[in-house]
């Protein structure tokens, strides 16, 4: 009955917001991207791969870039371990879709259908998955219910419920409890996440703390941007500001002169979180007094024509999937989404390279990871009004920054192993479906 009211609410919301969605779809390409797939049209490439070989299917769903990166090693291990299966991967966002296609191959990647009964049924009919693996907190009532009605086991890996999301989940506990109680396994990032999943209705014996898959992610190879920066920034120190959101670039540019006072031999790499903001950020940098360049301009020029970067220059990293590798060149990293109340982004990408990390006060999305780093003095948290001072101090005291980066890498290495623990749980569940 509760699912009926959920679908009724979905229908009402669709009717009310239809004019807005129609306008957005007509005026912005990103809202049209993958729309047919989201509404239940299974792409021909996916249907064709499903038919090839007649192999049983595992469906893994990751929302966006962060989740795709988090499960990249898990996907490789599943491919290797379960060669008699075909693994398909879905995403929700366009950026996640682009990265997943690049990493896993276009033919087995698609947009996840909207949580509408007919759209979900279309994919379940076409794929007939033996298991659905959901990443983090991507829980959808119709998708779950449709799987359970077909006796398709569902597991959640790298499960987490952020501080910001927790009140919303609690408010809808009546909806979640009958669904979450049927999950085959929940592999939580932390004890808190496990307790929250149990409180919402998951069977306690099926909830395990496996750790964070992001601790197992290594940059597989250097990106083109990294190779170029290595050549163009000789004898310069890089400050990499990654996954920045609206308002943060202005604060970083305001702080930039203070950093150059501490060390004039710096280059700032600005990497906005969302591709739709690349041009906006580039315009903001262009209006500043600093020399600057867009990363996307580099491939269009003959290699010999690329000018070396100069001290004080700003590089707008307006590409997808290159930031993780670029962190390897950093002397100091700033993690965006943390100066504004957006919950922060992942500090582990620079930590794996032994890079000192600075974040703002808003980091609820990665609280467990950051608390661990704070205990080991492996990260600096700064108030907005102290951003320039904190970054300047870190630039000035390179020995302390290096020591902090070393401690961060030690935390990263010590927490590794979530992929192996996840596979230990998934293996018997998947093998049981063969019988």
Residue 183: partners with Cβ closer than 8 Å, 6 or more residues away: 154, 155, 156, 202, 203, 206
Give the residue among 381, 370, 364, 361 at the shortest CA–CA distance from 408: 370
Taking the CA of residue 181 as centre, how many other CA atoms within 13 Å lie in the half-sphere pointing to its CB? 7
Among 37, 51, 52, 67, the active-site one is 67
37 assigned to active site: no
Residue positions annotated with a catalytic role: 67
């Amino acid at each position: 009955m509760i699912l009926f009211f959920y679908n009724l609410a979905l229908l009402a919301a669709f009717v009310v917001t239809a004019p807005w969605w129609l306008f957005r779809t007509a005026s912005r390409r990103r809202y049209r991207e993958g729309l047919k797939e989201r509404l239940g049209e299974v792409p021909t490439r996916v249907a064709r791969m499903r038919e090839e070989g007649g192999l049983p299917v595992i469906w893994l769903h990751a929302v966006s870039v962060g989740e795709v990166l988090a499960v990249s090693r898990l996907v490789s291990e599943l491919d290797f371990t379960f060669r008699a299966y075909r693994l398909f991967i879905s995403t929700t966002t366009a950026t996640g879709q682009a990265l997943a296609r690049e990493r896993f191959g276009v033919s087995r990647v698609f947009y996840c259908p909207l949580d509408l009964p007919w759209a979900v049924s279309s994919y379940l009919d076409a794929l007939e998955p033996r298991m659905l693996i959901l990443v983090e907190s991507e829980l959808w009532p119709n998708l779950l219910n449709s799987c359970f009605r077909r006796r398709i086991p569902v597991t959640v890996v790298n499960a987490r419920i952020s501080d910001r999301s927790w009140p919303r989940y609690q408010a809808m506990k009546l909806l979640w409890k009958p669904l979450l109680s049927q999950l085959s396994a929940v592999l939580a990032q932390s004890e808190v996440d496990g307790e929250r999943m149990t409180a919402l209705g998951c069977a306690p014996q099926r909830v395990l703390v496996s750790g964070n898959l992001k601790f197992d992610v290594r940059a597989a190879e250097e990106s083109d941007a990294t190779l170029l920066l290595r050549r163009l920034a000789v004898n310069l120190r890089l400050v990499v500001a990654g996954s920045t959101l609206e308002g943060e670039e202005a604060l970083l540019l305001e702080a930039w002169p203070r950093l150059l006072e501490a060390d004039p031999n710096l280059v700032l790499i600005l990497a906005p979180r969302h591709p739709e903001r690349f041009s906006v950020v580039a315009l903001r940098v262009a209006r500043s007094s600093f020399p600057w360049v867009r990363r996307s301009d580099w491939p269009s020029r003959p290699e010999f024509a690329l000018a070396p970067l100069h001290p004080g220059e700003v590089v707008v990293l307006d590409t997808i999937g290159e930031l993780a590798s670029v962190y390897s060149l950093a002397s100091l990293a700033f993690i965006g989404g943390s100066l504004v109340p957006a919950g922060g982004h992942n500090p582990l990408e620079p930590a794996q390279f032994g890079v000192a990390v600075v974040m703002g006060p808003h980091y609820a999305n990665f609280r467990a990871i950051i608390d661990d780093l704070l205990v080991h003095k492996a990260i600096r948290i700064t108030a907005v009004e102290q951003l320039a001072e904190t970054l300047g101090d870190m630039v000035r005291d390179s020995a302390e920054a290096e020591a902090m980066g070393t401690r961060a890498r030690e935390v990263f290495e010590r927490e590794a192993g979530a992929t192996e623990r996840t596979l230990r749980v998934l293996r018997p569940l998947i093998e049981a479906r063969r019988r």
